[in-house]
Structure 1
Amino acid sequence: MKGIIGKKIGMTSIFEANGKQTAVTIIEAGPNVVTQVKTPEVDGYNAIQVAFGEKKEKNTTKAELNHFAKANTSPKRFVREFRNPDVQKALGESITVDIFTEGEKIDVVGTSKGKGFQGVVKRHGFSGVGEATHGQHDRSRAPGSVGGSSYPSRVFKGMRMAGQTGNERVKVKGLKVVKVFPEKNYILVSGSVPGHIGSTVLILK
């Protein structure tokens, strides 16, 4: 598996020669620095550890400083691991957006926007109780009945109810790489990716 850590810049749209409009997400993908190379002999599996995003030295632990010093790089904010990489990289090497080509399919992993405590209409798409006559007071967004009577005499686990919404790890599969800008480390991906502007995402292929 090959991948890179990036930062979501925002969304825009591009137009093709035939006038077709495509909504795209701009991601600043890398450059990432290889901070550790794992091998079956030492670690029991193949993987490379990459780092992205600058971090102040005063906010970095001594252990992290020594770890990054081995790769001859400055402290980084985000560190991720990619197992079974297609191409082995040496310690301290950079991974850039060049690993992607226009037209190929990728997966993007991110943390969705947190929406706080939400009701069943927003959280699960319920339509509400509906009828507003015959004593239905303030029931238009209510969940309705949630449990039985004497049997089962409880609410089943997993019942769709109100609660914390968003702020979850989300993986969007099969997005198309529309355009790559190596000089700016930008990659344009069709459609939307999870997370707010400025959030960290993983791009997998």
Structure 2
Amino acid sequence: MSIGILGTKVGMTQFFDETGLSIPVTAIQVGPCVITQIKSMSTDGYNAIQVGYKQVVEQKLNKPLLGHLRKSQLPSLKYLREYLVESIDGFEVSQVFSSDMFEVGQKVNVSSKSVGKGFSGYQKRHHFSRGPMSHGSKNHRQPGSIGAGTTPGRVYPGKNMAGQMGNKKVTIKNLQIVSINTENDLLLLKGAVPGKPGALVKISK
């Protein structure tokens, strides 16, 4: 598994290519990310690289996390993520990653937490069909039968019903990098990325 990078979703805009074609893109502020810890097979039982992102004031972190970062003489970083690697050769603590690790035309996977829609009904959440809208019908947006009878005498777990919609981790695969702004560490990805502007985004090759 290759090392990924953390970033922040800025928002959506459009990008015009050489032919004048308008491409919908999502702008993501990536990095700089710092290697905060290197885990090896001898010490931890597996090889992994821990990456930190987004420096904040010390008061926003708890003491165990601050102690972990001070051990390597690193600034107070809000987010820490691990990436499994086959070999830890070539990595060192305090090494910095930014947008220069990507290339235009490369495809990446993007993970983020989707926008929360709150408690939603059957039609919005699971695309159920509505009932008759004519006079006398009492089933406009109701769920109808849920299929359970004397046998099994209960509702199976995972049944499509009303409930919390969104606010879950979503991964969009194979998004193409349209443009890279190395000065501001901005990536423009073709298409939409889950989450609100300002949401934490994880990008992996």
| Bucket of the pairwise TM-score, normalised by the shorter protein | over 0.9
Moved more, 146-155 or 6-15: 146-155
Moved more, 169-178 or 77-86: 77-86
Distance of aligned partners of 1:132 and 1:64 in 2 relative to their CA distance in 1, 3 Å threshold: closer
Question: For residue 21 of structure 2, what is the aligned residue in structure 1?
Answer: 20
- Residue 21 of structure 1 and its aligned partner are, at CA, apart by 1.2
Distance 2:64 2:154 in 1: 51
**Is 1:123–2:125 an aligned residue pair?**
yes
Question: For residue 100 of structure 2, what is the aligned residue in structure 1?
Answer: 98
Question: For residue 114 of structure 2, what is the aligned residue in structure 1?
Answer: 112
CA contact (8 A) 1:8 1:27 kept: yes
Q: Secondary structure at the match of 1:2?
A: coil
- CA RMSD, Structure 1 to Structure 2 (Å): 1.7
CA contact (8 A) 1:121 1:141 kept: yes
**Is 1:144–2:147 an aligned residue pair?**
no
Question: For residue 160 of structure 1, what is the aligned residue in structure 2?
Answer: 160
Q: Secondary structure at the match of 2:44?
A: coil
**Gaps in structure 2 of 5+ consecutive residues:** none
> What amino acid does structure 2 have at the position aligned with 1:4?
I
Q: Secondary structure at the match of 2:68?
A: helix
CA contact (8 A) 1:5 1:200 kept: yes
- Residue 149 of structure 1 and its aligned partner are, at CA, apart by 4.1
- Sequence identity of aligned pairs in percent? 39
Question: For residue 78 of structure 1, what is the aligned residue in structure 2?
Answer: 79
Question: For residue 7 of structure 2, what is the aligned residue in structure 1?
Answer: 6
Distance 1:39 1:180 in 2: 33
CA contact (8 A) 1:35 1:70 kept: no
- Residue 171 of structure 1 and its aligned partner are, at CA, apart by 0.7
TM-score (norm 1): 0.92
CA contact (8 A) 1:147 1:156 kept: no
Distance of aligned partners of 1:152 and 1:67 in 2 relative to their CA distance in 1, 3 Å threshold: closer
Distance of aligned partners of 1:203 and 1:2 in 2 relative to their CA distance in 1, 3 Å threshold: same
1:11-41 deviation digits (Å, cap 9, x = unpaired): 1011112121111111011000110011111
- Residue 8 of structure 1 and its aligned partner are, at CA, apart by 0.4
Question: For residue 200 of structure 1, what is the aligned residue in structure 2?
Answer: 200
Distance of aligned partners of 1:188 and 1:150 in 2 relative to their CA distance in 1, 3 Å threshold: same
Pairs aligned (count): 203
1:40-89 deviation digits (Å, cap 9, x = unpaired): 11112211111111222123233222221233221011110111178732
> What amino acid does structure 2 have at the position aligned with 1:203?
I
Q: Secondary structure at the match of 2:174?
A: strand
TM-score (norm 2): 0.92
Question: For residue 171 of structure 2, what is the aligned residue in structure 1?
Answer: 171
> What amino acid does structure 2 have at the position aligned with 1:144?
G
